[in-house]
């Protein structure tokens, strides 16, 4: 149904990461790249183009996360609840294989990170193959093969598509793991990461393997700025005081036509910048906190509640929200806080 709607649509809206993943996949497919990007004679409009270089480096690189792989396998069969896709199907061999992979999963990541010399947390650059002989990749491919067999037996329908999707994801993870251990991609930087669980959070921390192209310009030139294809890139922050040539070079668009358009926003008459004097340092604890809440009260009062307050520290956000909750209530203003299950998307809605 979703694929049919996409094929029938006049406009398809994607985020950058998904777009670059699809472009790379189309190029590497047996059919090769089409006459357009994703469809014949299509074109791209990339908004927020200042993010293209960073997003493309990540999307065109390699990332294998313990948490994502665990979640994928537990959707097949959860070791504690015994619920999942395979439970519905009732295939004992696939269940046994999947539980076997889950049993070795964390240890396999731990072995790789220890071989890289990574400590309790942080990230570590990997400059040469680690020499780790992991069985994780082959075990993932075994489960993949079983899922594809079950998909064939399922015939057409949602169950078949779900099994094939899981098989594809397992193959991608196994491939990424192999690519990382071999370090076979030239012009890529490799590293490992470990993130400890946040205090008061239910998740168990994260371990991950990464590779990213050092420069994406050449790759983007092949994927995006191809002959006989059209791409429009827009952003309010591409000009860094020396025209658009610097940005164009970074993303492989040296031959592109460029155009600078003045902003319609009249900064001089439509905005003001306030810089509080005598603000205590954050290290001054309660004195800083009292000053912070005082300035927030002043500016929120000036805008009659129409304010968006940004924090660089989650702990400071929580403390300030708790400390000012009573004041907001007294003013008859609704206070929304991005914390405790309130995502930014939910807050905006």
Query: Residue 202: its pLDDT value, please?
Result: 47
> Stretch 179-190: mean pLDDT, rounded?
92
* CB atoms near residue 218 (< 10 Å): 11
Query: Residue 1: its pLDDT value, please?
Result: 56
For 29-43, 130-144, 221-235, which range has the lowest pLDDT when averaged over its residues?
Answer: 29-43
For 90-99, 152-161, 210-219, 304-313, which range has the lowest pLDDT when averaged over its residues?
Answer: 152-161
For 78-82, 85-89, 144-148, 194-198, which range has the lowest pLDDT when averaged over its residues?
Answer: 194-198
Domain boundaries, the chain: 2-58+216-250, 61-213, 272-348
Q: What does the mean pLDDT of the chain come to?
A: 88
Q: Which residue has the higher pLDDT, 59 or 349?
A: 59
pLDDT of residue 270 exceeding 70, the answer is yes
* CB atoms near residue 230 (< 10 Å): 13
> Stretch 147-165: mean pLDDT, rounded?
86
**Residue 346 — very low, low, confident or very high, per pLDDT cuts 50/70/90?**
confident
In the numeric block, the tokens 């009659």 are attached to: 304
pLDDT of residue 340 exceeding 80, the answer is no
What tokens were used for 301?
Answer: 């009062």
**Residue 204 — very low, low, confident or very high, per pLDDT cuts 50/70/90?**
low
For 4-8, 53-57, 77-81, 138-142, which range has the lowest pLDDT when averaged over its residues?
Answer: 4-8
pLDDT of residue 265 exceeding 50, the answer is yes
Q: What is the pTM of this model?
A: 0.66
**Residue 30 — very low, low, confident or very high, per pLDDT cuts 50/70/90?**
very low
Query: Residue 2: its pLDDT value, please?
Result: 66
131-152 per-position pLDDT tens digit: 999 999 999 999 999 999 998 8
Residues 6+ apart with CB under 8 A from 276: 291, 295
Burial class (CB in 10 A: 0-12, 13-18, 19+), 66: buried
Question: Which run of H or of E encompasses 349?
Answer: none
pLDDT of residue 201 exceeding 60, the answer is no
> Stretch 96-121: mean pLDDT, rounded?
93
**Distance, first Cα to last Cα, the chain:** 27
């Amino acid at each position: 149904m979703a694929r049919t709607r996409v094929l029938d649509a006049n406009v398809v809206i994607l985020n950058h990461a998904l777009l670059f993943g699809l472009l790379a996949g189309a190029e590497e497919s047996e059919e090769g790249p089409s006459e357009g990007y994703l469809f014949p004679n299509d074109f791209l409009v990339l908004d927020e183009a200042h993010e293209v270089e960073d997003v493309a480096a990540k999307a065109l690189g390699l990332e294998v996360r313990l948490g994502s792989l665990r979640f994928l396998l537990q959707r097949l069969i959860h070791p504690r609840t015994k619920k999942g896709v395979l439970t519905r199907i009732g295939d004992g061999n696939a269940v046994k294989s999947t539980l076997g992979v889950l049993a070795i999963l964390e240890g396999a990541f731990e072995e790789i990170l220890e071989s890289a010399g990574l400590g309790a947390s942080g990230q570590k650059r990997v400059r040469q193959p680690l020499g780790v002989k992991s069985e994780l990749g082959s075990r993932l491919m075994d489960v993949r093969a079983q899922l594809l067999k079950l998909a064939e037996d399922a015939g057409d329908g949602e169950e078949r598509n779900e099994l094939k999707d899981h098989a594809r994801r397992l193959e991608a993870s196994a491939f990424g793991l192999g690519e990382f251990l071999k370090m076979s991609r030239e012009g890529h930087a490799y590293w490992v990461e470990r993130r400890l669980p946040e205090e008061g959070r239910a998740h168990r921390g994260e371990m991950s393997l990464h590779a990213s192209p050092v420069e994406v310009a050449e790759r983007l030139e092949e994927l995006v700025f191809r002959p006989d294809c059209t791409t429009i890139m827009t952003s309010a922050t591409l000009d860094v005081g020396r025209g658009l040539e610097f940005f164009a070079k970074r993303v492989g668009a040296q031959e592109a036509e460029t155009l600078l358009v003045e902003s319609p926003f009249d900064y001089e008459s439509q905005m003001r910048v306030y810089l509080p004097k005598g603000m205590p340092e954050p290290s001054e604890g309660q004195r800083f906190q009292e000053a912070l809440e005082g300035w927030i009260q002043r500016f929120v009062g000036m805008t009659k509640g129409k304010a968006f307050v940004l924090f660089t520290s989650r702990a400071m956000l929580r403390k300030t929200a708790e400390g000012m909750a009573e004041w907001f209530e007294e003013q008859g203003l609704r206070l929304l806080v991005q914390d405790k299950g309130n995502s930014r998307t939910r807050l905006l809605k």
